Chain A
Amino acid sequence: MRKCDLCGLNEAVYTDYSRRVSLCANCLMKSVRRRAWHVLKEELIAGDRIMIAHSGGKDSSLALLLTKEFADLHPDMRLSLLSVTVDEGTFYRRASVELAKRLASELGVRHRTYTMEEIHGLSIEELDFKLPADWKRSPCTYCGVLRRQALNAIAREIGATVVVTGHNLDDLVQTAAMNLSRGDINALVKTLRHERKIEEGLIPRVRPLKMVYEREIATLVVAKGIPAHLGKCPFTQGMRIGVRREIDSLEDRVPGTKVRALQTFSLISLRLSADVRLRRCRVCGEPTTTELCKACQFKKELSTFLQRDLVRPLNLERVRRDRDVVWD
Chain B
Amino acid sequence: MKGTIKVFLAGREVELPWNTLIGELYEMLGVSRWSTLLLVNGKPKADDSYLNDGDVITWLRITYHESPRENSGENT
Contact = CB atoms under 8 A, between A and B. Distances in A.
Same complex for A and B? Answer yes
Interface of A: 1-2, 11-15, 22-23, 57-59, 144-145, 147-149, 165-168, 170-172, 175, 178-179, 182, 184, 186-187, 190-191, 202, 207, 214-215, 217-219, 222-223, 230-233, 236, 240, 244-245, 248, 251-252, 274, 276, 278, 287-290, 293-294
B76 A214 contact: no
A62 to B, nearest CB: 12
Contact of B46 (A15, A236, A245): A15
Contacts of A293: 76
B23 A15 contact: yes
8 contacts: A12-B46, A165-B68, A170-B65, A215-B37, A230-B62, A232-B63, A288-B76, A293-B76
Contacts of B43: 13, 222-223
B15 to A, nearest CB: 22
Say whether chain B's binding surface is mostly helix, strand, loop, or mixed: loop
A147 B47 contact: no
Interface in B23-76: 23, 32-35, 37, 39, 43-50, 60-76
Given A202-B76, A293-B76, A171 B46 contact: no
A227 to B, nearest CB: 15
A274 B72 CA distance: 10
A45 B32 CA distance: 39
Contacts of B75: 144-145, 148-149, 294
A219 to B, nearest CB: 5
A223 B44 contact: yes
Contact of B71 (A59, A168, A179, A240): A179
Contacts of A290: 73
Contacts of B65: 57, 59, 166-168, 170-171, 214
Interface residues of B, number: 32
B58 to A, nearest CB: 11
Contacts of A147: 66
B49 A251 contact: no
Contacts of A222: 37, 39, 43-44, 60
Contacts of B45: 2, 11-13
Contacts of A248: 32, 34-35
Nearest to B62: A218
Contact of B68 (A13, A22, A175, A219): A175
Contacts of B63: 170, 214, 232, 244
A172 B76 contact: no
Contact of A287 (B23, B34, B64, B76): B76
Given A2-B46, A222-B37, A244-B35, 9 more contacts: A22-B48, A22-B49, A57-B64, A144-B67, A179-B70, A214-B62, A222-B44, A223-B44, A244-B34
A47 B1 CA distance: 64
A178 B72 CA distance: 12
Nearest to A2: B49
A248 B63 CA distance: 12
Contact of A187 (B35, B46, B60, B69): B69
Contacts of B32: 245, 248, 252
